[in-house]
Amino acid sequence: MHALLLVAHGSRRQASNQEVEALTQRIAASGGHRFGLYATAFLELASPTIEEGLRHCLTNGAKKITLVPYFLAAGTHVVNDIPAIIEKMAEELAGVEVEVEPHVGQSPLMEELILSLAASGRARLGDP
Amino acid sequence: MHALLLVAHGSRRQASNQEVEALTQRIAASGGHRFGLYATAFLELASPTIEEGLRHCLTNGAKKITLVPYFLAAGTHVVNDIPAIIEKMAEELAGVEVEVEPHVGQSPLMEELILSLAASGRARLGDP
């Protein structure tokens, strides 16, 4: 089974974490059978943690886990923290392929996403 | 003239700010004549600031400015800080339409972007 794990920073604001959970649900709806499991995890300030997220994938039978860092910039969280957590779990993850994708800010679709937002013209300051 | 202003949080890491500048350049290349000017601004820790970014648009003749918050979550920066800065500049911005779009985390294209990253399979942990 191939699992997709979306990893966000995590926030003290519960609404912000819920926004990420809701995104994972929308990804699952769009992705359908492409992955056997869609899960969310947080680097800090919220749960499930990355360790818990990876274990959730394992206990559900994942043999391959694709981790997508939901970060806009390649800061130390993306470059160091996430790989270090996976490294620390090497024994538990033996026999499982863990793939870490580029963070979302690196996606070549980001230009299109922003141009599309800019064209939507939803909120006009000064509107009554 | 219609300007697009991409507003990011800003970082102490210069590479992170440069990543945003590079994104604005790619948006400009994709967007072409859809906007007369493509600019970047930062909420804090980096320059140009949002005030400077808006003034840059004004001095280049913008009559409409579309501001896209390059943020994943609707935190206080998006909800309070950005509108407050625009509000404070109301006199300078008189006669100019300023449109604040939803932050990038709210885009309906985000699901597709993440599924596409997850399919790219670029970085495999354990690769030689």
- Sorted by where each begins, the domain ranges of chain A are 2-120
Number of cross-chain residue pairs from A and B with Cβ atoms under 8 Å apart: 159
pLDDT digits (tens, 9 = 90+) for A72-103: 987 788 888 999 999 999 999 999 999 999 99
pTM score > 0.90 for this model?
A: no
Sign of CA dihedral B125, A3, A111, B64: negative
Mean pLDDT of A62-71: 97
* Chain B interface, best mutation among A37, A65, A93, A101, by max B CB count within 10 A: A101
Q: What is the DSSP string of chain B?
A: -EEEEEEE---SSHHHHHHHHHHHHHHHHHHGGGSSEEEEEESSSSSSBHHHHHHHHHHTT-SEEEEEEE-SS--HIIIIIHHHHHHHTTTTTTT-EEEEPPPGGG-TTHHHHHHHHHHH---BTT--
Closest in B19, B29, B115 to A31, CB measured: B115
For residue B104, the number of C-alpha atoms closer than 13 Å in the C-beta half-sphere is 25
Determine contact, residues A47/A21, Cβ cutoff 8 Å. Answer: no
Alpha-carbon gap: B74 to the closest alpha carbon of chain A (Å): 7
pLDDT digits (tens, 9 = 90+) for B15-58: 889 999 999 999 999 999 999 999 999 999 999 999 999 999 99
* Chain A interface, best mutation among B45, B111, B124, by max A CB count within 10 A: B111
Q: What is the pLDDT of residue B120?
A: 78
Question: What's the CATH class of domain B2-120?
Answer: alpha beta
- The answer to whether residue B122 scores a pLDDT higher than 80 is no
% pLDDT > 70, chain B: 94
**Cα–Cα–Cα angle for B83, B111, A100, rounded to 5 degrees:** 105
